[in-house]
Structure formats: structure tokens, C-alpha cells
Amino acid sequence: MILETLEVGPFMSNCYIFGDEEAKEAVVIDPGYEADRILMTLAKHGLKVKNILLTHAHLDHTGGLKQLKDATEADILIHKSESIYLKSSPMQALAFGMKPTIAPKADRFIDEGDTIKVGQYVLRVLHTPGHSPGGICLLVEGKGMVFVGDTLFASSIGRTDLPGGDYEELIEGVRSKLFPLGDEVVVYPGHGPPTTIGQERRYNPFFG
Ligand SMILES: [Zn+2]
Ligand SMILES: [Zn+2]
């Protein structure tokens, strides 16, 4: 298994490269900016990208999407409720005082229960709205790893005051879909260091 974490862009977002070193296949999760660095990391491992997965469509997770898509021709997979936010990328950029970025369209929509193969590994989609309506988490089946985007952070949660955000929904999603995965499961968030389900279930102030 190959797992590379790249902290990218002005919002220090985590872009994850998850791959199978035998099949030489990978997915890129949340290419927010610094596509050159992402491409160099893929090349270093000799990995071919089949799919680009977006936990949600906020600009800090999609800023490098167009360049990565152009370079790899990989399919872009996202929950359908996020397509409107993907379209709004140039406006999001202006709102942050950044150069407008045009995001390419999704190639395929994914939803709760869908699976994505990466060589010998299987990622399963968990729909966890609240930070954004089409927010998803990606569980690596049988490997005790879950990529959670901005749904859950070490000792915190994603903000719920952005368009389409919903605090109750976020809390309920974490409780009903992430906590049951098991305490030992390692959580890879969209910002900040990894944590575990057990650590957050016990000590995260939002779930006390
Ligand atoms: Zn976000
Ligand atoms: Zn973010």
C-alpha cells in the first residue's frame, strides 16, 4: 500500500495519494492546489491515476483539479449534491481573493455504499453531509483507514456555516456512520494530522 499525504495550498488542505504498489494504480483524494507536486509524487512511485475522488467541492480541495485532470485524464468522482459547488469554483476563488479556477465537470457521481477499486484495495463511500451537502468519507475496506474530508478533524469538526451546511446533520453522520467503524480505525482528515475513531469518540469536545 502507498499512502502519501501532501499538505497543499494556502488553506493547508490534505491531498492524499492512495495506491497499490503492485498494480501501480492510485486514486488522488482532494487535489487542492499544487498539482505539480501531486504529479511528481505519483511519478516517483510510478503510479497511474484511475480516479480523482473529491470528499466535497470546496475550492481548498479542488484548486488543483483541472491541472491534474488534464495531465492524467483520470475520472473525477463526486457526490451529485456537490456538482453545484464544483461549478461555483471561480466564485469561490474570488470570494477568497484568489485567481479564479475553473473546475472541470464530474465524470461520475458516487453515493452511499458505492465502491471504488484501487488495485487490490476497495474504497467504500459513506455519505456524511453537514459540512457540505454532498460530503463523503472513503473507507478502505478491511484496512482500518477512512478519509473524511472536512467532516471530522482531530479534536474538532468541519464548519457548518457555509452554504448547505448543517450542524445536526454533521454530528449525526459522524455518530451513525464513522463511530461504528471501530475505535482503532485511523482517520485521515482534510486538514491537520491523522487521528483515530476512538480518540475522537472519547475526547473530541463536539461529541462529549
Ligand atoms: Zn470544506
Ligand atoms: Zn477544507
Domain count, the chain: 1
- The Cα–Cα gap between 137 and 152 comes to 10
Ligand nearest to the CA of 7: 2
Give distance in angstroms: CA of 131 to centre of ligand 2. 9
Q: Which pLDDT tens digit goes with each residue over 19-67?
A: 999 999 999 999 999 999 999 999 999 999 999 999 999 999 999 999 9
- Ligand 1 centre to CA of 149 (Å) is 7
Q: Are 81 and 134 in contact (CB under 8 A)?
A: yes
Could you say which ligand is closest to the alpha carbon of residue 9?
2
Ligand nearest to the CA of 57: 1
CA 46 to ligand 1 center in whole angstroms: 30
Distance CA 137, CA 119 (A): 19
Q: Cα–Cα distances in Å, from 164 out to 35, 58, 70, 159, 169?
A: 28, 12, 29, 11, 11
- Residue 94 pLDDT level (bands cut at 50, 70, 90): confident
pLDDT class of 173 with cuts at 50, 70, 90: very high
Residues 6 or more apart in contact with residue 140 via CB below 8 angstroms: 18, 121, 122, 123, 146, 147
> Which residues are registered as beta bridge partners of 205?
none
pTM greater than the 0.85 cutoff: yes
> For residue 82, what is its C-alpha cell?
456537490
Domain that holds residue 68: 2-207
> How many angstroms separate the alpha carbon of residue 33 from the centre of ligand 2?
12
Identify the CATH number of the domain in which residue 73 sits: 3.60.15.10
Mean of all residue pLDDT scores within the chain? 96
**Distances from the Cα of 59 to the Cαs of 11, 52, 55, 180, in angstroms?**
10, 15, 12, 30
Which pLDDT tens digit goes with each residue over 178-191?
999 999 999 999 99
Point out the ligand nearest to the CA of residue 13.
2
Distance, CA of 33 to CA of 199 (rounded, Å): 30
Least distant ligand from the CA of 58: 1
Sheet holding 121-127, edge to edge: 115-118, 121-127, 136-140, 145-149, 186-189, 195-196
Q: What separation in Å is there between the alpha carbon of 131 and the centre of ligand 1?
A: 7
